Amino acid sequence: MEAVKPQDRAPTRRVGVVQMRCEPDPARNLRHAQDAIGDAAREGADVVCLPELFRTTYLCQSEDPSRFDWAEPIPGPSTEALSKQAADLGISIVGSLFERRAAGLYHNTAVVLDAEGRLAGRYRKMHIPDDPLYYEKFYFTPGDLGFQAHRTEAGMLGVLVCWDQWFPEAARATALAGAEMLFYPTAIGWQFDEGEEIDGSQREAWKTIQRSHAIANGAFVIAVNRVGHETLEGAEGDGIRFWGSSFVSDPFGRILATAPDDDEAVLVVECDLGKVERTRRDWPFLRDRRIDAYQAIGQRFVDEPSARSKTPAERRAATGEDGAGSL
């Protein structure tokens, strides 16, 4: 009898995406998110992801110390509610929260809850932006948990958050940790004073960089954005128009489904995890990486234009540590 191939054993998973508007009332946002999770579960979702910081309007449009009161511990009220729902529905949930770790110490944190309601893992956002209307460095300490893959009934889930999506290193490190699916809870949109041409170019760049992560790592990418116009007291200009457009990409970078740019949506998308094995066999990028030659990646910048990464053997030869020419 012919052996069953590993790629044929891999299951198909149904991935749920919740694109939602967020308002000032955290309790209403939680109920709204849970209603959408229920809708996705009824459509057969095995795992559902929520947008970045879904419990409130996007708090980082201005710097306001009173907003630290919006943070919560993990475990805490949100994880308790989502854990119970995950267990009741028998699905995994990815949620993004404003974590109060200790007095004066806060993180932008994503939690992974498995189908039994357990906290399978958490990820603290590593790359923290500081741009007009995105003043996250005021609120969040950079993550210290590294890049991880979390084992759930839905598969090996990697989670990165919003600004992380622009960094190929983050996607690669998470894939190397074993992730088959890369989830990106996101809060991204346009400032109202930006021109239409810039708006469209930014959104296309956002899609393209994440599709490239799918291709380079042979993994599914799930980008989950909020949608709608939000303003906050003290923020400059007319706020942010979050562009929605949440999507799921397969390991070839093909977009399997996308949400509108101006309305809420719940997507449930079939993801054949066998494609991860097949794609990594056809395009063996992980096999062909030159891990001995990437030293420059560990530097902020290579200041000498002529400098290049050297292999360990080349470095030993240059310093005479290989014993050549010794008596």
Q: Residue 190: beta bridge partners? A: 241
Beta strands in 87-239 (DSSP E): 92-102, 105-113, 119-124, 130-131, 134-135, 150-152, 155-159, 181-186, 189-191, 220-225, 227-230
Is there a catalytic annotation at residue 52?
Answer: yes
Q: Please, are residues 175 and 182 in contact by the beta-carbon 8 Å criterion?
A: yes
Annotated catalytic residue within 22, 52, 271, 275: 52
Candidate list 49, 60, 125, 277, residue with the active-site label: 125
Residue 63 phi/psi, 5-degree rounding, is -95, 115
With a CB cutoff of 8 Å and minimum separation 6, the contacts of 111 are: 74, 79, 82, 94, 95, 96, 97, 119, 121, 122
Asked if 49 is an active-site residue, the reply is: no
CA separation for the pair 34, 50 (Å, rounded): 10
Active site residue 125: yes
- Catalytic residue from among 22, 162, 180, 230: 162
Contact 252, 279 (CB under 8 A): yes
Distance of CA 102 to the CA centre of its chain: 24
Whether residue 50 contacts residue 17, with contact meaning beta carbons closer than 8 Å, is answered with no
DSSP category for residue 6: H
Report, as residue numbers or ranges, the catalytic residues: 52, 125, 162
